[in-house]
Amino acid sequence: MAVTSTPPATSARPKSQAQLIYEQYQRSQRQFTLGVAASWGLLLVLLFFLFSGVQFSLGPLAIRTIRLDGEFMRTWLPDISRGIWQTIQISALSILFATLMALLAALGRLSRVAPIYALSTFYVSLIRGTPLYLQVIFFFLALPQLGIILPGLWAGVLALGLNYGAYMSEIFRAGILSVSKGQREAAIALGMTPGQTMRRIILPQALRFAIPPTGNEFIAMLKDSALVSATGFVQEIMWRAVHAGRANFRNLEALLIAAAFYWVMTLLFTGVQGQLERYMARGDR
């Protein structure tokens, strides 16, 4: 369908083929998005229905859903919600510490000095070769035997930070390696020392690359911070849920509340993360 030079601003102007194809594409995109949203809504309704406690019979079929103790949930929801702050606090502190460890480990891994390289790979290997759960318990229970008693929060931050730092060192290493060789050469040709080159030219570019994946690690950390509850010293969401559930024999209700908090937090921070990624990507254009 050829479009010849029609005068502009006529309302009955025929649409070009490209425009028609584009509109068709947009329509199918909209339909898909709408379909996904509707299905999500339906699944949510189903999930709520499953725990609604409703009982009825459909002919020969007796339908019984799970009945929750609403009284308990109303009473304990505010208490468990007070753990949100603790969870965010321990996650944020741990990710900060992990970032520092990851950066050091990544630099060590790229070093040509044997002991430094060895220290870095040793740390990463040791941490990745043992369970996170063991590490968390270790800092709370094993260290006091040696006379080292850390405040609950700090022991948790130490364990989670060391663990995530080992895994995140790969992110930072990839970030540093993503900076082209020419950048290093240009800096060196200008007379910059290896240290100046790393600090002023390579790292600023590498960190830009590493920020979005670090956001993802933070979201994972929000959930792994629940492991700290096992020690009983940090009153974050999980600890409060287990505590309240056990005391009242209402574990189902308590854990559902905790799960809901974690899920909502994850959704919120995933949204923030998406914005961050879009913002970072914009700078490249």
**Locate tokens 């709520």: which residue?**
48
Question: Tokens in use for 194?
Answer: 């290896």
In contact, 235 and 85? CB cutoff 8 Å: no
In contact, 148 and 78? CB cutoff 8 Å: no
Report in angstroms how near the CB of residue 104 gets to other proteins at its nearest. 22
CA distance 133 to 159: 9
Report in angstroms how near the CB of residue 184 gets to other proteins at its nearest. 9
Q: Per rule CB under 8 A, is residue 113 in the interface with other proteins?
A: no
Q: Per rule CB under 8 A, is residue 182 in the interface with other proteins?
A: yes
Burial of 205 (0-12, 13-18, 19+ CB in 10 A): middle
CA distance 65 to 103: 51
Report in angstroms how near the CB of residue 245 gets to other proteins at its nearest. 50
DSSP 137-166: HIIIIIGGGGT----HHHHHHHHHHHHHHH
Q: Per rule CB under 8 A, is residue 129 in the interface with other proteins?
A: no
Q: Per rule CB under 8 A, is residue 281 in the interface with other proteins?
A: no
Q: Which stretch binds other proteins (CB under 8 A): 84-92, 202-210, 239-247, 259-267?
A: 202-210
Among 45, 186, 268, 272, binds other proteins (CB under 8 A): 186
Q: Per rule CB under 8 A, is residue 185 in the interface with other proteins?
A: yes
The count of chain residues that interact with other proteins, using the rule CB under 8 A, is: 20
Among 159, 160, 201, 228, binds other proteins (CB under 8 A): 201
Among 28, 33, 52, 196, binds other proteins (CB under 8 A): 196
Q: Per rule CB under 8 A, is residue 188 in the interface with other proteins?
A: yes
Q: Per rule CB under 8 A, is residue 178 in the interface with other proteins?
A: no
Report in angstroms how near the CB of residue 120 gets to other proteins at its nearest. 24
Among 24, 178, 193, 275, binds other proteins (CB under 8 A): 193
- Calculate the alpha carbon distances from 271 to 94, 201, 207, 219 in Å: 21, 31, 21, 11
- Report the SS3 class of residue 104: helix
- Calculate the alpha carbon distances from 138 to 39, 56, 181, 192, 245 in Å: 44, 51, 42, 44, 26
In contact, 168 and 176? CB cutoff 8 Å: no
Report in angstroms how near the CB of residue 193 gets to other proteins at its nearest. 8
Q: Per rule CB under 8 A, is residue 200 in the interface with other proteins?
A: yes
208 vs 223, beta carbon nearer other proteins? 208
30 vs 200, beta carbon nearer other proteins? 200
Binding site for other proteins (CB under 8 A): 180, 182-183, 185-193, 196, 200-201, 204-205, 208, 284-285
